[in-house]
Structure 1
Amino acid sequence: MQDKYATLAPALDSPANEGFAITPSDSSDLQQVTRALYVGEGGDLAVEMRDGASLTFKDVPQGSILPLRVRKVLQQTTAAYLVGLC
């Protein structure tokens, strides 16, 4: 399949090239720092940002895509069906 954008360097505002399912964990980092998070089922989203700051986003709606550079999704997260986008 042809990809006419293959020779361009991706930027943080470019569409995601990769994705992976996320299982919240207080001890394990994600397989890579995200460019964004997709929330399949709404709820609270507790994360550790790339710089180590811990934040909780309350009542994130279902279907949200949040442009966050996250290294960990914490267990107190009540949102579900999370996907890391890179």
Structure 2
Amino acid sequence: MDHFESHAQSLVAPLRDAGEVTPDDATDLPVLPRAIYVGQSGDIALITAQGSPVTLVAVPAGSLVPLRAARIKATGTTAGSIVALW
């Protein structure tokens, strides 16, 4: 039973789902996430939801990055075990 099913999802509400990310230079993520979890430290090259390219440098393992990324690029990404959260 989900007691919160009838409540609207907000940006501060708990995340509802997740999916492992395979970095790809040409393909957007199948779902636009609300955040990204980083399991292994490193850099993350991405395209934001607004289309801006950016590289997050030296993201520590275990980080939860509250950024809506449309794409996680393979080129320039050294972090591993990345999970999209929405």
TM-score, scaled to structure 2: 0.95
**Which residue of structure 1 aligns with residue 15 of structure 2?**
16
Q: Partners in 1 of 2:71 and 2:13 — Cα distance?
A: 22
Residue type of the alignment partner of 2:83? V
Moved segments of 4+, more than 6 Å: none
Q: Partners in 2 of 1:14 and 1:64 — Cα distance?
A: 18
List gaps (5 residues or longer) in structure 1: none
Secondary structure at the residue paired with 1:9?
A: coil
Q: Deviations over 1:21-78 (max 9, x none)?
A: 0000110010111100000000001110001001111100000001111100011200
Q: How does 1:25-40 map to 2 (within 5 A)?
A: 25-40=24-39
**Which residue of structure 2 aligns with residue 66 of structure 1?**
65
Identical columns (%): 36
TM-score, scaled to structure 1: 0.95
List gaps (5 residues or longer) in structure 2: none
RMSD over equivalenced CA pairs, Å: 0.6
Aligned pairs, number: 85
